[in-house]
A and B are shown apart, each in its own frame.
Chain A
Amino acid sequence: MNGDRLTRLMGDVDDRFVEESMEVEDKKKDIGVGLAVSSQPPRSHSSP
C-alpha cells in the first residue's frame, strides 16, 4: 500500500529533477537503449 503511495507521489516531485533525468533519457536513446519506442517520432527536446 505504501509502496503504491510513494510510487504515485514520486510523480509530483519538482520539475527540475524530471528535466534533469530527461537529459539522461536523451543519452539513452543515443546509445540504443529503449528500442521498443524506436518507431515513435524523434525527440528534439534537448533544451526544454
Chain B
Amino acid sequence: MDDQAIIDLYWSRSERAIEATAQKYGGYCHTIAYNILHSREDADECVNDTYMKAWQAIPPTRPMRLAAYLAKLVRNVSLHNYEKANAKKRGAGQVPLIVSELEHCLASSVATDSEVVELLNEFLAQLPQETRQIFMGRYFHFQSIKDIAKMRQVSESKVKMVLLRTRNDLKQVLEAEGVAL
C-alpha cells in the first residue's frame, strides 16, 4: 500500500492503518528495535508501542516520509526502554558500544540539541554516500560491525576504519563550530 494511503487511513481513524503499517514496515521497525534491545519479545513490545504512538500522533501529524518517521519513533521508543532496563548497568548488544564510540565526538557543550542536529545534517550531507550509509547503519540503525561488513562485502577492519575516520572528522567539525568545548 502506498504510504499516502496508509497515512490517510490514520487520518480517517481506521484501524486498518496499523495493520497496513505492520505489513509494510513491521519487519523494518523490528530490526531497529532488535538491534537496540537484543530481545525479540522486547522488540515486539517496542514495535507495538511505536504503532500506538503513530496512532496517537497521526493526526494531527502528517509525516512527509512515513518510513523515516516510523524509524525514528521505534528508535526512540527502543532506546528509552533500553535505558530503563539498564539504568544501573550496561547491557549487551550494540548500544553500549555505540555510546562509547561516540563519547569523544561531542565534549561538554552548551549547544542546543537543534544546533547539534543541524551540524550533524551538514556533516552527513558532505560525506560520500557509502561512508554516510555505513555511518548511519552503525549510529542510526545500530547495526553490528559484522553485519555492515557482510552486507557490504568488505572486511570488518575496513568498516572499523571508515567509522573511526568519520568519527574523527565529526569531532573536528563539531570542535570547529564551537560545539565541543
Contacts and interface: CB of A to CB of B under 8 A. Distances in A.
Interface of A: 2-22, 24-25, 27-29, 31, 33-34, 36-37, 40-45, 48
Contacts of A28: 143, 147, 150-151
Prevailing SS type, chain A contact patch: helix
Contact of A20 (B31, B129, B147): B129
Given A17-B124, A20-B136, 4 more contacts: A3-B106, A7-B99, A18-B71, A19-B68
Contacts of A43: 24-28
Interface in B68-83: 68-69, 71-72, 75-76, 79
A22 to B, nearest CB: 6
B79 A25 contact: no
Contacts of A45: 24-25, 28, 67
Contact of A22 (B71, B98, B147): B71
A11 B129 contact: no
Interface of B: 3, 22-28, 30-31, 34, 40, 43, 64-69, 71-72, 75-76, 79, 95, 98-109, 113, 116-117, 120-121, 124-125, 129, 132-133, 136-137, 139-141, 143, 147, 150-151
Contacts of B141: 21, 25
A6 B104 CA distance: 10
A18 B69 CA distance: 9
Contact of A12 (B26, B40, B117): B117
The 5 closest A-B pairs by CB, nearest first: A3-B103, A15-B68, A21-B136, A48-B67, A40-B27
Contacts of A16: 65, 68
29 contacts: A2-B103, A2-B107, A6-B105, A6-B106, A7-B98, A8-B79, A9-B117, A11-B75, A11-B79, A12-B72, A12-B113, A13-B124, A14-B125, A15-B64, A15-B65, A16-B65, A18-B65, A18-B67, A18-B136, A19-B65, A20-B133, A20-B136, A21-B137, A22-B71, A28-B147, A28-B151, A34-B31, A37-B31, A48-B65
